[in-house]
Amino acid sequence: MDNRGRGEARSSLPSVHPEGRKFALICFGLAVIAALLAWETIAWPLAFLSLCILAFFRDPERVVPRGDDLLVAPADGIVTQIKLVEPPLELQSGEAGLGKAPVTRVSIYLSVFDVHINRSPCAGTIGAMNYVPGKFVNAELDKSSEENERQHLLIHRSDGVVVGMTQIAGMITRRIVPFVKPGDIVAAGQRVGLIRFGSRVDLYLPQGTSPQVLMGQRMIAGETVIAKLGQTAELEGLQQ
């Protein structure tokens, strides 16, 4: 339906990203083999696991809010940290990066129950992309942004504003899968990658921009507005 109520509203199951279909197929195949061998105690758990894999890699469509000055959530999950920090070295990148001055970092934690497709917070051109191997400590911890496996991205808007984003692997995550490469032009809310099995995404807001979300607030990737460029009035409180 459009914003005037025209059209037909209906619900449907979300599609499954191709990255997950192969894992589900392998798991289901093992379940079939176990069933043929009469190993029911193994077959049923494997069949259930294949359904869980399909659910984990679900890829629902999202309705991106319009507004050139809006920054939308790059990931589904809970806001676990809003903090003024110096950007990582990989995102400073001289004149083409965020620089060394402290900026606001909004951290979103994704549990295994969240959609793990990550999206671009704004329209622009993908600049530097830096993959950093690392550990797999709890992604909710502050040190995970410096110690865990991670992928840094810079997005250059047409107005010259640069937005930084970092995908961070969690305790049971073992791969960050990018969908874009440097030089690609992306739209706000466009899929840019995924992280397998629990993770965190950090969004670095440009100078002079304050977050319009609260600690504990649930984010919907591509839909929830995290900030409005140039708006510095911060929200106060804690989301319950």
Which residue in 120, 144, 145, 199 is the catalytic one?
199
Name the residue among 113, 118, 124 with its Cα closest to residue 17.
118
Write the single-letter amino acid at 148.
N
CA angle 116, 102, 240 (to 5 degrees): 50
Distances (CA, A) of 143 to 148, 149, 151, 185: 8, 12, 15, 31
Residue 193 near residue 118 (C-beta atoms within 8 A) = yes
Would the CA dihedral through 124, 180, 16, 224 be positive or negative? negative
Tokens of 170: 């969690």
Question: Residue 188 CA to chain centroid, in angstroms?
Answer: 13
199 among known catalytic residues: yes
Question: Hey, CA dihedral for 93, 96, 99, 105, is it positive or negative?
Answer: negative
The number of C-alpha atoms within 13 Å of 195 and in the hemisphere containing its C-beta is: 34
Active site residues: 199
